[in-house]
Amino acid sequence: MTNRKKIAAGNWKMHKTFAEGQGLAQEIRTMADTELMNDAQLLIFPPYIHLQGLAKQLEGSKIGIGAQNINQFEQGAYTGEVSASMLTSIGIHYTLVGHSERRQYYNETNDSCAAKIVIALKHTIVPVYCIGETLTERETNQHFSIVEDQLHALKGLSNEDISKCIIAYEPVWAIGTGVTASSDQANEMHKHIRVVLTRLFDEHIAQGISILYGGSVKPDNAKELFSQSDIDGALIGGAALASRDFINIAKSF
Ligand code: 13P
C-alpha cells in the first residue's frame, strides 16, 4: 500500500455565475467540515473570473483552488491570456493543463502542455496534467501509445518537479457522455501510465504520483473506481457542480 494522496477534484468548466459559484463553494466547505472524515484532498477548478473571490472565500478551509488553464509564457502581448505569476499573486497554486476540451477546441498540443507544466512548476503551481485517448483511438487500439506520447510532455522534468505533478487520465469518450470507463479499463491505463513514468523517471517516482480518473464519475460509481489499485481519485465535471454529489464522491475513498 502506498500513501499516495487521495484527491477529489471538481472541474467546473464554463459553468456558474459568481454568485452561484460562491454558493456552491460555501456548501462544499460546510459539508466537508461536517461530513468528510477521510483524508481526501478536495480541489475545485472554477472559471478564471471567480478565482480571486473564491480563493478569498475559501481561505482557512481544506479546499484547494486552481485554474482551468495557464499560459506558457511569463508575460507579454498575449491578449486574453493569464500568466503563472498572475495566478500566484492571487493565491492560486493549482492548474489544469491539457484538458481534452482545450486540446480539441483551442489547439493545445503535447508541446504547449509541456511548456505550461514547466512554467507552472517554476511558479510553485501544481499542474494537473490531463491525458486520454479519443474513442477512435481506443477502437483502433492506439490508446496506450497515445497516452504514452502525451506523457512525454513530462520528459525532462527533474525528479523533484515530477513528484509535485498530478496526472488525470480522462478518456475523451467518457467525458460528459454518461459512459464511464470500467474500473478495469481505467486501472489498466493507470498501470500503463506508471510503466511509462518508470521508463521516463524511475519506479519510486511512478509509484508516488497521484493519478486521477475522469469521465462521468458519479457518487454511484466512485467507490468501485477508488477501490482499484492505481486509481487515486477523480477529476469530476458534471457531478462537481452539485455539492451533494461532489462530497459524496469524496466520501467514497
Ligand atoms: P464529466 O464528469 O462531466 O464527464 O467531465 C469530466 C471532465 O472532463 C473533468 O475534467
Q: Reading across the β-sheet that carries 233-236, which strands appear in turn?
A: 63-65, 41-45, 7-11, 233-236, 211-214, 166-169, 126-131, 94-97
Give the pLDDT of residue 155: 95
pLDDT (tens digit, 9 = 90+) per residue, 19-46?
Answer: 999 999 999 999 999 999 999 999 999 9
Cα(100) to centroid(ligand 1), Å: 10
Backbone angles phi and psi of 74, in degrees to 5? -65, -50
Q: Is the pLDDT of residue 1 over 60?
A: no
Kindly indicate the confidence band of residue 142, based on its pLDDT and cuts at 50, 70 and 90. Answer: very high
- Per cent of the chain over pLDDT 90 is 96
Q: In the chain, where are the structural domains located?
A: 7-250
Report the relative pairing of strands 126-131 and 166-169 from DSSP bridges. parallel
pLDDT (tens digit, 9 = 90+) per residue, 177-220?
Answer: 888 889 999 999 999 999 999 999 999 999 999 999 999 999 99
Kindly indicate the confidence band of residue 71, based on its pLDDT and cuts at 50, 70 and 90. Answer: very high
> Is the whole-model pTM more than 0.95?
yes
Report the alpha-carbon distance of residue 180 to residue 29 in Å, rounded.
27
Whose CA is closest to 44, among 128, 130, 115?
128
Give the pLDDT of residue 247: 98
DSSP string, 227-241: TSTT--EEEESGGGG
Class of domain 7-250: alpha beta
Work out the average pLDDT over 224-241.
Answer: 98
Name residues whose C-beta falls within 8 Å of residue 86's C-beta, 6 or more positions apart in sequence: none
Residue 170: CB within 6 Å of ligand 1?
yes
Using an 8 Å Cβ cutoff, are 119 and 87 in contact? Answer: no
pLDDT (tens digit, 9 = 90+) per residue, 87-126?
Answer: 999 999 999 999 999 999 999 999 999 999 999 999 999 9
| CB count in 10 Å sphere of residue 139 | 11
Work out the average pLDDT over 137-143.
Answer: 96
Q: Is the pLDDT of residue 2 over 70?
A: no
Report the alpha-carbon distance of residue 117 to residue 114 in Å, rounded.
5
Give the angle subtended at the CA of 245 by the CAs of 45 and 234, to the nearest 5°.
Answer: 50
Nearest atom of ligand 1 to the alpha carbon of 168: 10
Give the pLDDT of residue 185: 96
Active site residue 170: yes
Mean pLDDT, the chain, rounded, equals: 97
Report the alpha-carbon distance of residue 126 to residue 66 in Å, rounded.
9
Active site residue 50: no
Give the pLDDT of residue 176: 87
The residue from 101, 108, 137, 170 that is catalytic is 170
Q: Which ranges constitute the DSSP H helices of the chain?
A: 18-35, 51-57, 84-89, 100-105, 110-122, 135-139, 143-151, 159-162, 183-200, 203-208, 219-226, 243-250
Site to probe by mutation for ligand 1, drawn from 175, 217, 220 as the one with most ligand atoms within 8 Å of Cβ, is 175
